[in-house]
Amino acid sequence: MEVKKISKAKLPEAMALVWDVFLEFEAPDYSQEGIDEFKKFIDGQVAHMTRAIYGAYEKGQLLGVIATRNEGSHIALFFVRKDHHGQGIGRRLFEHILLLCESSFLTVNSSPYALKIYRKLGFVDMDTEQLTNGIRYTPMSYSI
């Protein structure tokens, strides 16, 4: 498996992966407002983040995506295809951004579905669950 920066040309494929995984695992915990807000986010703002989006590839197939913002100190997106869960792909993506991070910490606003995964990676809750524009999340932090 290879982790590499996702080119602008490959961005639609990456966002399709994000959307598909979101619909299956996260959307059931969100209101329609939250689903619409997330779709707006991946359709709009993410297009400006191509320098901070990385993919895990195997034999040319995109298996997972991680994106950061705030100069690499905040995880904005982190998704792995369902049929590749539990194979260490998320950990490889996470370790890749750790190598690139120039901060002494990382933050994330974890969806309810991903809380267990982030805690397993070493993140700790910074606050209780929040709700903004229908998006449910728990602010978390990781010390590097």
CB contact set of 141 (below 8 Å; sequence gap of 6+): 105, 106, 107, 123, 124, 126
Average pLDDT, the chain: 93
Q: Which two structure tokens, joined as six digits, stand for 80? A: 């792995």
Contact assessment for residue 92 and residue 124, using Cβ atoms and an 8 Å cutoff: no
Domains of the chain: 2-101 (3.40.630.30)
Distant-in-sequence, close-in-space partners of 18: CB < 8 Å, separation ≥ 6: 42, 65, 77, 79
Q: Annotate 58-75 with three-state secondary structure.
A: ECCEEEEEEEEECCCCEE
Residue-wise pLDDT tens digits, 6-60: 988 898 999 999 999 999 999 998 999 999 999 998 887 665 665 689 999 999 9
What is the per-residue pLDDT across 46-104, written as a single tens digit (0 to 9) for each?
656 656 899 999 999 999 999 998 888 999 999 999 999 999 999 999 999 999 998 99
What are the pLDDT digits (tens) for 130-144? 999 999 999 999 999
Closest CA to 46 of 73, 72, 22, 67: 67
Angle, helices 11-21 vs 32-43, to 10°: value is 170
At 143, the amino acid letter reads S
Asked if residue 87 lies in contact with residue 119, where contact means CB atoms within 8 angstroms, the answer is no
